Amino acid sequence: MTQKNLAIVVVTYNRLQLLEQCLQKLEKQTYPIDNLIVVNNASTDRITAGFLDSYTGSLPLTVIHNKVNTGGAGGFYTGIKHAYQLGYEWVFVMDDDVFADSRCVEQLMAVAHPCMIAVREYKDGQLVERAAIEYNLSNPFYLNPKRQAVCDKYKNRSNMPATIEVENVAFEGFMIKREVIDIIGYPEAKYFIFYDDVDYALRARKAGFSIKAVRDAKLIRQLPFDQQGAINSWKAFYMFRNLFYIHFKFGKNIFVRNKPYLLAIGSMIVYGIRLRNWKVVKEIMRALKCAAHLTEK
């Protein structure tokens, strides 16, 4: 009988060099991986699909070739759904630009909390875990519901307790037990990018599951965060739309649920009047229009 304890889901798009290294790190895990599910999100480089189809590494590999790019959100929806339908007890999800320390999965499974995250750092060892210790959707005066990230409170991994409760996650080292998926279902694919992981964490917590960051489960992030770069690109629409939707859906009072209108006005003032970036202003307006139902237009 095939063991169905742990499946790992990796979503990739046009980053073969990172994907190869990511899989090499997973092959060195000290905890047995029963299925590695790679979702190829319609890569256009013409080499990712070939690499995956001819994979000769040591892990049992399942490849899902999406016909269209469904974004990170769609990729994780597909991967988690596939792992769940195959009957796996635990699902560990990650992007191709984070590399797992050899004992990462082992350290998570030693804790075996129903919802957990590995803790990220950069290649130089700088702690860069941005999961929120507090994600406040009750105070309408907070511009950003993320009040404090793990890396804001703890400058070094050694200063952290063995586990710490967090209120949101990134799909970069998130582990979830089957019993949680039984209740909350799959991630929402319509986010495309940004906030699909926040939504999933909020749903898990609403269902009564806490989320633990496990200090000794280490992930090394290969690329820097570039929020400003995202705002100045096509990604701005999704960033604003999905943030507004989080408030509409999870706001704990009428003031927070209506905060997106004030956020939109304030953002348009900053990007329009101060920065003269009318392209971003246009995207904010479209984002507000589309936020209620996560539509594109």
**pLDDT value of position 230:** 86
Residues 149-184 have pLDDT tens digits of 999 999 999 999 999 999 999 999 999 999 999 999
pTM score: 0.96
Residues 36-87 have pLDDT tens digits of 999 999 999 999 999 999 999 999 999 999 999 999 999 999 999 999 999 9
- pLDDT over 50 at 251, yes or no: yes
227 pLDDT tier (thresholds 50, 70, 90): confident
Cα(275)–Cα(297) distance, rounded to whole angstroms? 25
**pLDDT value of position 2:** 62
How deeply is 37 buried, as exposed, middle or buried, from its count of CB atoms within 10 A (0-12, 13-18, 19+)?
buried
The type of residue at 90 is W
**pLDDT value of position 1:** 44
**pLDDT value of position 33:** 98
Let me know: does 84 contact 76? Beta carbons within 8 Å.
no
Angle at CA of residue 11, ends 8 and 12, nearest 5°: 135
With pLDDT > 70 as the criterion, what percentage of the chain qualifies? 99
Return the bridge partners of 117, or none.
174, 213
229 pLDDT tier (thresholds 50, 70, 90): confident
pLDDT mean over 278-293: 96
- pLDDT over 90 at 274, yes or no: no
Cα(154)–Cα(157) distance, rounded to whole angstroms? 7
Cα(2)–Cα(284) distance, rounded to whole angstroms? 49
